Amino acid sequence: MTDTATSGQMLTNSDVEELTLWRRELHRHPEVSGEEAETARRVVEMLTPTGPDAILTELGGHGVAAIYGGRAEGPTVMLRCELDALPIDEVNPDLPHLSQISGKGHLCGHDGHMAILAATARWLGRNPPAKGRVVLLFQPAEEDGSGAARVIEDARFAAITPDYAFALHNFPGLPLGHAVIAAGPMNCASRGMKISFRGRTSHASQPDKGISPAPALASLLTDLTALARGQDSANPEFALVTVTHAHLGERAFGIAPGDAEIWVTLRTQQDAAMAALVTRAEHLVRQAAETHKLEHEISYHDIFHHCENDPQATEILQAALRAAGVPPTTAELPMRASEDFGRFRAGSRSAMFLLGAGVETPSLHNPNYDFPDDLIPMGAEVFAAALDELCY
């Protein structure tokens, strides 16, 4: 194979081959949120030969940030990808790089997103920025919504807080190599709400001697989901409540239940609407507990802020997509699915885009999903074009 550069003179054929193999090696060894130590080690090993000015490790957990400085003053531009995989069994027996870790798989494409940033790192190593700084952030714990917050809370992040932050996400169902981007809300806000009820068990022949949470559980299964408002996420009043898990009592025929648990996901277009949805949901829970004389407890998990594309940052990415020859397509925006990249907009102009993974590609979080390697050079070329606008 001749070691010539790909389109845009950014990557050689050898680069693409090596990055593809590296992506597949990451795919074989997935690590879930909070456990990405070996993945982070592989990232540092890949980044070191590109000669960054500094590499920060254990950032907000297992995060890695590579910093490439320019000779002149200019903006700090952050490109962000994710380290973590999912706690899902991969079911794809014909895949040569199938996950070797039972119950875990890179079924969201974060392995591919890492490869795109690794490709960008190779380009930066050969073409250091003329001005400002470029920060390549390999963020931990995106899937549970905790990673971005922990990175931002890390004291070392203050020294690299970006003026601009960019990200992408591959998206099955869109034509391969086509992109979607728009200013405004890009991903909905969401949070997991866990509700626990405590009553009193009794013999199944004497349910009147106990306090069963069954009626409360039954009512909330419908009452909570009835809080939904519309089906169109483009409507600012959009709200969705999804029951994801419910449990009642013991697996026994002789015991009337004394405890129950229900998990729901609350979803709104923007953060501002989430507080109102939480208030309505908590009111229903308290009402059910009082009506049926139950103790109750509420806790929140997997909290995601909504993602909103800054207009100026969006224009930069739109120009970068044109420069890289990536054709536009359309999709319903904002996405109902959540992304914790939204937290970075508090301190920077941020924007992300969707990069089509193929119309027939299995959906994200599907046990048969695999990231399309053709997107590695394409995603890197878009990021390079954005950096060219800001740092060269």
The predicted structure's pLDDT at residue 389: 97
Examine residue 213 and state whether it is found in any structural domain, yes or no. yes
| Residue 7 pLDDT greater than 80, yes or no | no
Does one domain contain both 157 and 227?
no
| Residue 1 pLDDT greater than 50, yes or no | no
Question: For residue 36, which phi and psi values (nearest 5 degrees)?
Answer: -85, 30
Examine residue 51 and state whether it is found in any structural domain, yes or no. yes
Examine residue 242 and state whether it is found in any structural domain, yes or no. yes
| Residue 8 pLDDT greater than 60, yes or no | no
- Binned at pLDDT 50, 70 and 90, residue 9 comes out as low
Does one domain contain both 174 and 235?
no
The predicted structure's pLDDT at residue 324: 97
Does one domain contain both 291 and 382?
no
Does one domain contain both 248 and 172?
no
- Rounded percentage of the chain residues whose pLDDT exceeds 70: 98
Instruction: Report the C-alpha gap between 315 and 82 in whole angstroms.
Output: 24
Higher-scoring residue by pLDDT: 279, 230: 279
As given in the structure block, the two tokens for residue 82 are 């994710």
| Residue 71 pLDDT greater than 70, yes or no | yes
- Binned at pLDDT 50, 70 and 90, residue 23 comes out as very high
Does one domain contain both 287 and 263?
yes
Examine residue 1 and state whether it is found in any structural domain, yes or no. no
Q: For residue range 300-346, list pLDDT tens digits in order.
A: 999 999 999 999 999 999 999 999 999 999 999 999 999 999 999 99
| Residue 118 pLDDT greater than 70, yes or no | yes
Q: For residue range 352-366, list pLDDT tens digits in order.
A: 999 999 999 999 999
In terms of Cβ atoms closer than 10 Å to its own Cβ (0-12, 13-18, 19+), residue 315 is middle
The predicted structure's pLDDT at residue 47: 98
Q: For residue range 134-144, list pLDDT tens digits in order.
A: 999 999 999 99
Does one domain contain both 160 and 252?
no
Residue 213, preceding peptide bond in cis (omega within 30° of 0) = no
Output the domain CATH number for residue 55: 3.40.630.10
Examine residue 97 and state whether it is found in any structural domain, yes or no. yes
Which are the contacts of 363, defined by CB distance < 8 A and separation ≥ 6? 172, 173, 369
| Residue 22 pLDDT greater than 50, yes or no | yes
Does one domain contain both 164 and 180?
yes
Examine residue 2 and state whether it is found in any structural domain, yes or no. no
Q: Are 181 and 313 in contact (CB under 8 A)?
A: no
Sign of CA dihedral 347, 348, 349, 351: negative
- Binned at pLDDT 50, 70 and 90, residue 6 comes out as very low
Taking alpha carbons only, the member of 103, 139, 104, 96 closest to residue 30 is 104
Instruction: Report the C-alpha gap between 112 and 143 in whole angstroms.
Output: 15
Does one domain contain both 162 and 54?
yes
Does one domain contain both 334 and 242?
no
Taking alpha carbons only, the member of 145, 142, 86, 140 closest to residue 302 is 145
**H or E segment to which residue 234 belongs:** none
- Rounded percentage of the chain residues whose pLDDT exceeds 90: 96
Counted domains in the chain = 2
Write out the E strands in the chain.
54-59, 63-69, 72-82, 131-139, 164-171, 179-180, 184-187, 189-198, 202-203, 239-248, 255-256, 259-268, 295-304, 307-309, 349-356
pTM of the model: 0.93
Of the three residues 304, 321, 343, the one that is the final residue of a domain is 304
Does one domain contain both 237 and 315?
no
The predicted structure's pLDDT at residue 344: 97
| Average pLDDT of the chain to the nearest whole number | 96
Does one domain contain both 19 and 117?
yes
Q: Give me the domain span that covers residue 206.
A: 189-304
Examine residue 276 and state whether it is found in any structural domain, yes or no. yes
| Residue 2 pLDDT greater than 70, yes or no | no
Output the domain CATH number for residue 294: 3.30.70.360
Instruction: Report the C-alpha gap between 192 and 228 in whole angstroms.
Output: 15
Instruction: Calculate ∠ Cα 303-308-313, nearest 5°.
Output: 135
Of the three residues 283, 304, 325, the one that is the final residue of a domain is 304
Q: Are 373 and 20 in contact (CB under 8 A)?
A: yes
* Cross-strand pairs, 297: 196
Does one domain contain both 175 and 324?
yes
Cα separations (Å) of 96 from 11, 25, 109, 163, 367?
A: 25, 10, 16, 41, 15
Q: For residue range 237-248, list pLDDT tens digits in order.
A: 999 999 999 999
Instruction: Report the C-alpha gap between 133 and 120 in whole angstroms.
Output: 14
Examine residue 66 and state whether it is found in any structural domain, yes or no. yes
Mean pLDDT of 52-74: 98
Of the three residues 261, 285, 304, the one that is the final residue of a domain is 304
Mean pLDDT of 177-192: 98
